[in-house]
Each structure stands twice: as structure tokens, then as C-alpha cells.
A and B are shown apart, each in its own frame.
Chain A
Amino acid sequence: MIRDFEYFAPKTLKEALTLWDKYGDESKIIAGGQSLLILMRQGLVAPEYLIDIKGVSELNYIESDSKKGLRIGALTTHRTIEKSPVIQDGFIVLAEMERRLASIQTRNWGTIGGNICHADPAGDPAPVLIALNATLTTASLKGERNMAVEDFCLDYFETALEHGELLTEIQIPAAPPHTSTAYTKFNVIESDMATVGVAVSITLGSSDGICQDIRIALGAVAPTPMRAKQAEAALRGKKITDNLLKEAGEIASTEVEPISDMLASEEYRRELVRVLVRRVGKEALARAKQA
């Protein structure tokens, strides 16, 4: 049962920030509400004030620039990202990830910003954004801050947002040449949340096929989405072979801190990481060769 609350529907970012600053701990921000309303219906979250920012249209946009890359407003819905020609052209992995996120109904109303701020360790977007080397901007009445998406999630359902701060934009840098990203998540029911999520981004040297850079981002295997940095190190600067990918998978499976729960045991999650890092790495490599 949802407890009564006072409701505000600011139309501009400035109004939203003012309210958020004023009511702070006694309030909650709602955008798409696809996560928040579940918690409120179950009585787990019961704010006195609810600040509905879904109508702050200035935060709903996708802008692309060949030099600067992609900028996505925090209130862009998952479905908009999924269907965006700009994203399908230049950052298809984002569309692929969105397509497997929950259901169409959820994607029609839920926002990417809301998802990132919910900070569910099994969330689909975060590993992909981290693999894409994404950054984000937060704003408050005091000004703006920028940070890597990787640094934004601090713990289970906890972000680096400070008092009065809202997430406003996600930036994905233009990919260097011969770069591509692939993603998959493991589940039993097709549209289910991730038991394990893996995103790999590979940048190859133009002539020599050597892996210039690699980012392996994992979800649902730690309290926050994480990078498998040791696994990356095993591949960076080398020519990637099947054996190396296999090794990277092995290493990554030791870096993660998964839990055992109803979906899977800790050991099984490690095994999935081992297999999927290798597979997704192979896919990313193939895509990078064509990029």
C-alpha cells in the first residue's frame, strides 16, 4: 500500500533542483517510476514528498556528434534509445541491450537515468555504458559534476549522488576507429533480469590487429557493476587469440564477487563469467575488425 505524499511536477530542471534541494531526505524523485513504484507499493519506500520529474522535457534528448560522441538526456526512455536511428547506427550495442531489458511496457515509460540511479547491481545498462567508457553529469543548485559511470555506483542501490543532485546527462565518447562493443546477459527466461551481465569493448590497432584497448564490464557479479581489470590486462597490447580470450575468461571469473541466490550459486556465476567473457570478447573482436 502506498502511503500518502505531497506531489510536485516541476517542468524545468531548475524547478526540480530547487524542490529536491528543499525537501531532501523527506522526498523521492520519480521519473518513469518503474522501479520506484514497486518499492512504494510494497511499503518499502514511503516519502512525504514526491518530485515527479518525468515532465522535465529538457532532459529528454539524444544528440550525436561525430567528434564528441553521444549525449543522452537522463529522462530519455529505454524505448527511445532502443528505437533511435542515431543509436542503431553508431552505438548498436545500446539498442541491443535495451531490447532485452524487461518488457516493452517498462521500456516505454522507464528512463535510462532512473535505471542508473536505482543502481541495481543486476541492471542492464550500466555494464554496457562502462564498456563504452561513458561518463555522466549530475547537477544541483550548486553546479555540475562529471564522473565516469563506473564511479557512479557505490554499493547495492547506492550512488554517488549528493544532497540535491540529479543525474542530467550520460555521455558516450565517439569510438576510436576499429572499436566495437558487444553485450550479453545470462538468464533462463528470455526477458528476465541478468543472472550475469557481460559487456566487452575492444579497440584494435589499424594495421596490426593488436588490441590497443579493451574494457570488460560485468553486472550482477558484485555489489556494483565492475570492470574485470586483470582480465583486460591479459589482453591489452596483444593480438587476441581464442586462447587468450579463454584465459581472460578464467581471470575474470576470479575477479568477481558474486553471491549465491535463488537464481544461481556463486560458483555457477563464476563459471558463467568465464564462458561469457570469452564469448562476448570474441563477438566484440569480430565487430571491431569490421568497424
Chain B
Amino acid sequence: MSKYSVIGTRVNRVDGPEKVTGSAKYTFDMVLTNMLYGKILRSPYPHAKILNIDTSQAEKLIGVKAVVTGKDTLGKKQGIWRRFPELCDEEILCREKVRYIGDPVAAVAAIDEDTAEEALDLIEVEYEPLPAVFDPMEAIKEDAPQIHAGVELNINVTRHIEWGDVDEAFKKCDHIREDQFKCSSQAHMCMETHDAVASFDYSGKLTVWTSTQSSYYIQALLAGMLGLREGDVRVIKPHTGGGFGSKFELDSAQFCASVLSMKLCKPVKIVLTREEEFTATKRRTPMYYYLKLGAKKDGTLLAKEARVITEGGAYTGMGATALYLTGFFSSFPYKYPNYRYDGYRVYTNTAPTSAMRGFGAPQSVFAGESQLDMLAEDLGIDPVEIRRKNGMTPNYEVPGQAYIQSCGLHQCLDEIEKHIKKRGKLPPNRGIGIAAYGFMSGGIFNWFDTPYAFSAAIVRINIDGKVDLFTGACEIGQGSDTTLSMICAEELGIRLEDIRIHAGDTGICPPDLGAWGSRETLMNGNAVKMAAADAKRQLMEFAAAKLGANIVYDMDIKDRWIHLVDRPERGISYFDAVKEAIRGKDGEVIIGRGHYTPHRKGMISPAYSFGLQAAEVEVDPETGRYKLINVTTAHESGTVINPVGIEGQLEGAIMMAGGYGFCEDQPMDEGKILNPSIADYKLIRSLDMPETDILEIDTYEPEGPFGAKEAGEGLTNPTAGAIGNAVYKAVGVRINDLPITPEKIFRALKEKEKQGKKSK
């Protein structure tokens, strides 16, 4: 019998009716009076000086209203790591130099899209191509072309994490492995591309509707770039067709539409094409991984050393965070007494790499879990057993780095072990591989240098008992509108249908850092809970006065009934109490306020969720082709607020993370992405999707609202690693570079056969 009325129940999404009827309006659908349409001209060179831009012919084209270049901007550079100005390196509209194929150089506003597109062809740009470099291993050399002035060897960011003494510890190990891995790029491939409608009015205020994960970040960054007061920029998030990490930085659609609108005082809409989406928006960070792992012969891990070079692309974006997190999560989810990580992010003349769901952890888990399986095999230890031996437990301190309160990893190990036993003896060429992970529930850092609380919410109770919940949290499909409404309803003791959420509008909602780093449930959930508790307290004052019960009794609200906890039949309806309270407050509505910033929780995350995933594959050894048969996950995320939501997040994560292991890739030639179309960018469709199962694990996180923590990003960590381990179990070959394609398996099998023949 659940102690909760709303959370933990299976509910329909609050934005559901609009979405299933096609009435949900996205930025993609917006049409405003006098709206113009914009298009962006982008560099065809990976590295070049801009000598001159002649827009005169384009301006003459009938229907063109404005053409802008970097000269029409304040010439500022921006970036999301505002605490470190040297990492704010992206102008968006380039003035002197372009640094990747796709870097914007001009933008046009016209009466329709076709005219705007035609105008692009009429803009003459004189470039002086410069030598370009595409591979971080090349870019880091002395003679490589310098991409950003003053950045030696193109080393953009370095990160170092260390505890214990790995060099000493390796000397004590019975067995040491050294392995290298290559992790590929990946495109977010949101169904709605980046888009924005910007409208600057004669009173000097800018309103931008955009598909975004963080209206607040976009507001602040736009204000900075355009020389406007933050308060004069309002960013509104309509329904948003996916984010996955691609939409919380200022992008070219938002910026160029704003610049054009400011020039014309008319609304301007820019929608990136799918090709632009693939080539000119940020992507997952490709990484070169070197790992050294040492253990005792009984499988106790003593030391791990990780050295990573990441392909930064042309600008920093969130790449510095990915660099840090990959190194931090390389130490998860095991207790390493000694650990050292050195990471280097290197600029290259390719599309910038940044944040994508998992944020460096899918890469670290692929490399780490592959290596751990190899070590286990070397030592003759079962893969589940070695993880059990070393896995993190509750109340564990990652030395000097982070404190983990709740941790259900061991329960996950037990459940997956049972699952593997149940699958029984597998037919030939089939194998089950596992991968374990731990992930953050909201990043702390504050590299954005916000003075605001990380999350905030306002609850307003109206005379009829209907509640307006205002939050900056951004619903991008992940279900935050529903989850937060559920938390609000639970705390206030009313029903989900009593809540109406207003989210992601900087004009009316308190700031929230946005939907990234798996933070909405924990951080914004805490803020919403606090706001609801505040409103509840005010309501209860009047209810208590009305009931006049003996002071020993305390009171609560459940299912719209305010009552004495020990005598539930004595009470007053929530609706009556609201009327009394508002009258008592001289007609003022009840307002509850809440906020949350993790204090004294370290600099990484206030909580971590854990899991173990088992992937079962069947390989055709003659061709290397393989099928994903089943992916079963034991994931613990504390109290489950929204079970339908979590299932959806898990299955969706398997499609995306499975794709990372199975088929998604962005091959390049001289900085040019070769497959910028959905026809050529392979991803998992319904016929390719494996069976998926979730094993429920019960844990409780004290830091989270009602004990909840994340379930959305951590789930993308393990699949590539699990697939790699599964392929090895199935046919005995290891592929250390992603994606794991049939051709790579085929070649590895041929090589293995050759080796086998040689040794005979």
C-alpha cells in the first residue's frame, strides 16, 4: 500500500491531449503577423580568413528585407562557461575567421523561405583558406595550424582528477591491463530541428520563442551578445521536439533571428534544415581513451589510470564539462583506492563537440566496462562477480570528490544475475554482455556563473482551488511537466488535474538552469516541493483555525481533504479551506515559493543513480551482422515519481545509446560530415529495436524530493559497453572503437581465424 497518492501512480502526461491531437504548437509551427523568414549562410571551408562579404546583390533581391553579418553585431564572443571568459570563444556570426564547415557568416530575412534561400546564393564571401586540422592527435602537434589565437597546441581545456597514488599501487597489482578505445561522435537528431522566432519591438524588448532546454540560459546569453538588459529579453519555450543536450546553448537560429529582428523590428523565424542540424549544431564529443587498470588476483581493483584526448571541434561549448565528467565517471561505479585522470580537449576544424545525453559517461562506460570484462577474463573471474567485489555502496565517499548517499548498485547486480540465469543456455553465436554505471542527478559546478538559485518555483492557489505552478524547468519530452506537477500535487495533497503548469517562460517563471545533466526531477522537484509546502503551510494556518482542534493533533491534506492525521474523519475540504484562506488574506491569492541549490554537496552532484544493463545479441559469424535481441536494465533512481515516464526514458535511452553502439556515426572527410541526412545517418527504427525489460530496484535518496533521483541520462551510459561485451561473449572478438559495425566484427573474426591458423 503506497503512502503516496499521486507520485508512483501511472498517469497520462499533462501535455498529452495536445500532443496526440496535433494541437500542441511548437516553435516550428509558429506564425506571427508580419513575420519574416530567415536563412543562414555558412562557411564551406573548415578554416579560413574572411576577407570580405558583399551582401549588396542579396539585398537587392525582391522580398529580401535585411542581410546581416558579424559586422552587424557587437562583436562579442559567448560561451556557456561564463566563469572562464577564455572558454567563451564563439561569436556565432563570424567576423574575421571561420573555423569549421558550417560556421555562420551571414543571415538573411525575407518574405518567405524560398526567397531567403535564393538570397544566400547572392552573398559573395571572399575567403582565404587556411591550413586545417581535423584529428585531435594531429592538432596537438607543434606544427599544427592554430585555431584560436593564443591557444598553444590547440589545447582548449585540461582536467586532472586524482586520489591515492596510482604509480605505487600499480606496483602492488598482480595483474595490469592497458587498453585503448576510440569513441565516436553522435548526432542528437531531435525530431524538431533548432529553430527560433525572434521579435524585437519598438520599446526595445526582445521576445524569442525557441525550441530549448533552458530558456534562462538563452535569455542570459542573448542579452549579453546583443547588449540588452536580461530583463528586456524574454525567452518562451513552446512545446519542444527533443533536446538531448543540443539545445541549452545559444545557437545560430536564435542569435541570427534576434539580430535580424533587432534590425527590422519585425518577427523573424529561422528553422534549421536537417542538413544544418547534422553539420552545424553541436554533437557528442569523440574521445580517444587510454586506460590502465590494475587488480589483485582475487579481482580487487587497486588502481585505474585514464588519459583521454577529446576532439573539441571549433569551439568550447559544453565540451569542458564533457571532458571533466568523462574523467569523473571513469571512476564509477567502483571503489578505486587509487585513481588518476588526465583529460585534454583539443580544438579541431570540425563541428563543435559538446553535450549529449550522458555527457561523457557513455564514452567512459564503453571503455571502462569493456576493459573490466577483459580483466575479469584474464583473472578467470565472472563479470558479475568482479563488479560485485568492487561496486560502490551507499554512503561512500569518492575520495575528495563526491559523497554518494543512496546507491542500489548491488541490488541491480543481483537482479541482472538472476536475469542472465533465467535466459539459460544460449544458442551458438549469441551472448549477453553487461555494463554497470553510476550517474549524477543534476550537475553543480556553476560554470555558468549564475547568481540565481539553481531551481525555483512558484505555486499560486486560486479561489477555486486550481493551482498554477510556475517553474523555469523545461519540458523537452522527458516528462518534467508531468513529474513536477505530480510532486506539486502530492505535496499539496490534491490531484494532478488540480495543477496547471507554466514552464520555461522567462517572463513569468522563476529561473531554472534547464533540462540538462539530469537535474529537473531532483533540483526542480525540490524547488517545487518547497513551494508547494509553503503554500500548504499558509493554507493549513487557516484550516487549523477553522477546525480549532486540540493542539496535540497535527494536520495534513490528502486527496483534497484537510484533516487531523489521527482523526481523519474530522476535517475540511481543500476547496473550502482555500476560500477561507483567501478571504482571510484580504483577498490575496496564496503564493508559495521554493528554490533549491545544492549546498555542501561538493561540486559535482547532490546524488547519483546507479544501474546495470544486460544486452543480448546474436551475431552472424559469416557476415558480422548482429541483432539486438534483448536489453534488460536494473536501474535504481530512488523513489519513482512517474513510472510511465521512467519506462519511456529507459526505452528511449536504449534506442539512443544502443544506436551509439550499433550504428550511429558521423564519418568525416577533411572536416566535412559525409552523412548529413537521415537517409544516411543510420539509427534504430522499430524493426531494429530489441525487447526491453526494466527490473525495479527500490532505493531512497534523502536529497531528492520524496526520495527521487534521476532516470534519463544514466540510462544512456551502459548500452554501448554492454553490446561490446555481448559481441565478445557471442563470437569472441572485441571491437574497441565505436560504433560496433558488422564490417568491424567480420574483419576481427577473420583476423582471429588467421591467428588461430598461425598458432596451430
Contacts and interface: CB of A to CB of B under 8 A. Distances in A.
Interface stretch (A80-88, A89-97, A138-146, A264-272): A264-272
Given A275-B622, A275-B623, A188 B742 contact: yes
A265 B747 CA distance: 11
Nearest to A102: B679
Contacts of B625: 186, 188
A272 B624 CA distance: 10
29 contacts: A1-B113, A1-B114, A1-B117, A186-B625, A188-B625, A188-B662, A188-B663, A188-B682, A188-B741, A189-B663, A189-B682, A189-B685, A189-B687, A190-B685, A190-B688, A191-B685, A191-B687, A192-B682, A262-B674, A262-B680, A264-B743, A265-B743, A268-B743, A268-B746, A271-B623, A271-B746, A275-B622, A275-B623, A276-B623
A178 B680 CA distance: 40
Contact of B688 (A189, A265, A271): A189
B629 interface: no
B617 to A, nearest CB: 13
B37 to A, nearest CB: 12
Nearest to B675: A262
Contacts of A191: 685, 687
B623 A272 contact: yes
B685 A186 contact: no
Interface of A: 1, 186, 188-192, 262, 264-265, 268, 271-272, 275-276
Contacts of B662: 188
A80 B675 CA distance: 32
Contacts of A271: 623, 746
B547 to A, nearest CB: 62
A34 to B, nearest CB: 12
B113 A186 contact: no
Contacts of B743: 264-265, 268
The 4 A-B pairs at the shortest CB distance, nearest first, are namely: A190-B687, A268-B743, A275-B622, A1-B117
Nearest to A264: B743
A191 B682 CA distance: 11
Nearest to A190: B687
Interface string B679-697: 0101111011000000000
Interface string B612-654: 0000000000110100000000000000000000000000000
Contacts, number: 40
A11 B179 CA distance: 67
A271 B744 CA distance: 13
Contacts of B741: 188
Contacts of B114: 1
A265 B682 CA distance: 17
Interface of B: 113-114, 117-118, 622-623, 625, 662-663, 667, 674-675, 680, 682-685, 687-688, 741-743, 746-747
A186 B682 contact: no
A262 B675 CA distance: 8
A264 B743 CA distance: 7
A188 B113 CA distance: 36
A124 B680 CA distance: 17
B123 to A, nearest CB: 16
A268 B743 CA distance: 7
Contacts of A189: 663, 682-685, 687-688
A262 B622 CA distance: 21
Nearest to B118: A1
A26 to B, nearest CB: 21
A275 to B, nearest CB: 5
Contacts of B117: 1
Contacts of A192: 682
A191 B680 CA distance: 12
Contacts of A275: 622-623
Contacts of B622: 275
Given A190-B687, A265-B743, 17 more contacts: A1-B117, A1-B118, A186-B623, A186-B625, A188-B741, A189-B683, A189-B684, A189-B685, A189-B687, A191-B685, A191-B687, A262-B667, A262-B680, A268-B747, A271-B746, A272-B623, A276-B623
Among A191, A271, A275: residue with most chain B CB under 10 A: A271
A271 B743 CA distance: 10
Contacts of A264: 743
A257 B731 CA distance: 30
Contacts of B675: 262
Contacts of B663: 188-189
A288 B643 CA distance: 53
A272 B741 CA distance: 14
A179 B562 CA distance: 81
Contacts of B667: 262
A263 to B, nearest CB: 9
B302 to A, nearest CB: 40
Nearest to A38: B679
A189 B655 CA distance: 13
A92 to B, nearest CB: 20
A264 B747 CA distance: 12
Contacts of A188: 625, 662-663, 682, 741-742
A188 B117 CA distance: 35
A89 B543 CA distance: 77
B738 to A, nearest CB: 14
A271 to B, nearest CB: 7
Contacts of B688: 189-190
Contacts of A265: 743
A192 B675 CA distance: 14
A280 to B, nearest CB: 13
A41 B75 CA distance: 35
Contacts of A262: 667, 674-675, 680
B440 to A, nearest CB: 32
Contacts of B747: 268
Nearest to B275: A42
Nearest to B659: A189
Among A1, A191, A265: residue with most chain B CB under 10 A: A1
Nearest to B684: A189
Among B113, B623, B675, B747: residue with most chain A CB under 10 A: B623
B741 to A, nearest CB: 7
Contacts of A186: 623, 625
Contacts of B746: 268, 271
Nearest to A4: B114
Contacts of A268: 743, 746-747
A276 B742 CA distance: 15
Nearest to B741: A188
A191 B683 CA distance: 11
Nearest to B689: A190
A265 B743 CA distance: 8
A191 B688 CA distance: 9
B666 to A, nearest CB: 10
Contacts of B623: 186, 271-272, 275-276
Contacts of A276: 623
A70 to B, nearest CB: 28
A161 B77 CA distance: 57
A97 to B, nearest CB: 16
A190 B674 CA distance: 21
A190 B685 CA distance: 8
B200 to A, nearest CB: 27
A267 B660 CA distance: 25
Nearest to B620: A275
A272 B623 CA distance: 7
Nearest to A274: B622
A275 B743 CA distance: 13
Nearest to B663: A188
A85 to B, nearest CB: 25
B352 to A, nearest CB: 22
A73 B537 CA distance: 76
A169 to B, nearest CB: 30
A123 B263 CA distance: 50
A196 to B, nearest CB: 10
Nearest to A193: B679
A39 to B, nearest CB: 12
